[in-house]
Structure 1
Amino acid sequence: MIDDKKIKAAANKHIETEYARYNSGKVEDEMICLRGKGSFKEGAKWAINEFLKDLWHQTNKEPEGYDEWILLHYSVGNYYSLAQVKDFKSWKGFVENMPIDGWLYVDDLFSKEGGNQ
């Protein structure tokens, strides 16, 4: 998951890079400001990708928890469906016969109580 340490580390790396470029004379002060919008977008994309990569599970990992809801991503047609773990008699048999790319726990899409992850 994305945590404050990863965000701070990425922000510090970006700032160090920009200041190094400025201090070496490679860019003017105004250039750093102009890059601000692009830098923000890069940071947002990084954050989204960090969040998503930890949510999705490969099909070779069987979901746990009898009453858990999962979201399935189908590669054919690029669509999604909801299912409850207890609906699968055989997870291995299901994924061998269905074009599933991956799955995630629906509960992982929402904040934990009190904001704790």
Structure 2
Amino acid sequence: MKKMICAAAATAFLLGGATWPAHADATVKKGKVGLVVKGKKLSVKQAGGWMDGHGTGVKARLYSVYKGVRADITRWKDATSTSAGMTNFSNVNWKLKGRKFASGTWLCIEFNKTDVTPCAKIHR
């Protein structure tokens, strides 16, 4: 049993150190807010997010942080109230048409009804 655990840990270490091609795909959930980024290499085709629960006047926007400098990517956009079974959430999406970002840029979403702001790192 001890040998199996050591072998699994060594495999995880070796795979974790591998170099993967650059990509912009990510899904991040922080508290009741989530962010989904879709793209290839360092370009982002679309991004969106959700916040648990319905609410009136829910808006969201995307921003980036690179080397400590914040830049707004989109303007505030009204979120759509959506239901999936027993789950209610507010949803928003943007088409970014392959917008390119520098490696190491953080792409974040912020909603006007919460202080939680999940971010995904775009990297090589």
Asked if TM exceeds 0.5, the reply is no
Structure whose alpha-carbon radius of gyration is higher: 1
Relative to its length, the structure with more strand (as a share) is: 2
Q: TM-score, normalised by structure 1?
A: 0.30
Asked which structure has the greater RCO (Cα within 8 Å, sep 6+), the reply is: 2
TM-score by length of 2: 0.29
More helix as a share of residues = 1
